[in-house]
Amino acid sequence: MTNLSELETTPEVGDEKLSPAGAATLIADFVDVLIPGERLWPSARTVGVQGQLALRLMEERGKNALPALVKAIEAAGGPLGGLDEAARVAVVRRFEEAEADLFGWVRDAAYIAYYENPFVAEAIVLTGHLYELRPHIKGYPVQRFDLARDTPRHGRGRYTKTSDVRRVDISRLDLESNRTQAWGLKR
């Protein structure tokens, strides 16, 4: 459980290289590399993802997280302002490789902030989906269960009745061993 008292609220985002305005521009450029505008989709910067991201980064990871993000992008080759697209992508790629945990957190937070935006929600609708930013209010029109149409007819399935439970032979399972060390997805 995070101690709220540790989450101070006024970061110092500017540094010897960047003013606060420069740092804000750097974050805006960064989110635009993550989610560029395409066809009907607005870019992340256009819908203000950088502002949400900065606030949430500070609220969840503390005062120093936002300056740390700025410095991490700088360390990877930022600011991004004067760079062409390929160079911007290369900077972000370096940041991703060097600071995987911070990058992952920021990427996810940027995605969520982006798709919470009403202009983006409208773009989702234009791709052919019924989509609501706040679906709980009115719900979605989902077809009711039709007993004639939807009831399973396969007849499969069994269960063991209480009176039918019998001892199984586990002598060959060797469950006392600890041999299954390679388990899960990496086997």
Partner 1 sequence: MTKSQDCDVLIVGAGPTGALAAMVLAQGGLDVLCLEQGAWVEPGDHPHYSSDCTWQRRTNWSSDVNKRHHPDDYPVETNSSQVLMWNGVGGSTNVYSAIWPRFRPSDFRKGDEHGLAPNWPISYEDLAPFYEKADRLIGTSGLAGDPAMPPRDPCPTGPLPFTRAAGRLAEAFDKLGWHWWPAEAGVISENYDGRPACNGCGICNGCPRGSMSKFSISIWPKALLAGTRLRTYARALKIEKGPDGRATGVHFVDRNTGRVEFQGAKLVIIAANGVGTPRLLLASDNLANSSDQVGRNLLHHTLVTSEFWVDEPIESHMGYVASLLGREFAETDVSRGFVNGFQFNCLTNTSSAGEAAAGWASNAKAPWGRGHHEWFERHFSHGIGVHAIGDDLPNPNNRVTIDPAVRDSYGLPAAKLFYQPGENDRRMMNFMLDRLEDIAKAAGAFDYKATDYRDENGVYRTPAWHMIGTCRMGADPERSVVNKWNQSWDVPNLFIVDGSVVATGAVVNPTPTISALALRAATYIRDNFRELSMTTRPMAA
By rule CB under 8 A, what count of residues binds partner 1? 81
Query: If binding is defined by CB under 8 A, does position 63 make contact with partner 1?
Result: no
How far apart are CB 16 and partner 1 at their closest, in Å?
29
Binding mask 90-109 for partner 1 (x = CB under 8 A): --x--------------xxx
Residues 141-160 within binding reach of partner 1 (CB under 8 A): 141-147, 149-152, 154-160
Closer of 99 and 114 to partner 1 (Cβ): 114
- Which of 60, 81, 97, 122 binds partner 1 (CB under 8 A)? It is 60
Q: Which stretch binds partner 1 (CB under 8 A): 13-21, 37-45, 69-77?
A: 37-45
Query: DSSP of the chain, one letter per residue?
Result: ---GGG--S------SS--HHHHHHHHHHHHHHHS--BTTBPPTTTTTHHHHHHHHHHHHH-TTHHHHHHHHHHHTT---TT--HHHHHHHHHHHHHH-HHHHHHHHHHHHHHHHTSHHHHHHHHHTT----SSHHHH----PPP-HHHHS----------GGG------TTT-TTS----S-TT--
Query: If binding is defined by CB under 8 A, does position 135 make contact with partner 1?
Result: yes
Query: If binding is defined by CB under 8 A, does position 61 make contact with partner 1?
Result: no
Query: If binding is defined by CB under 8 A, does position 86 make contact with partner 1?
Result: no
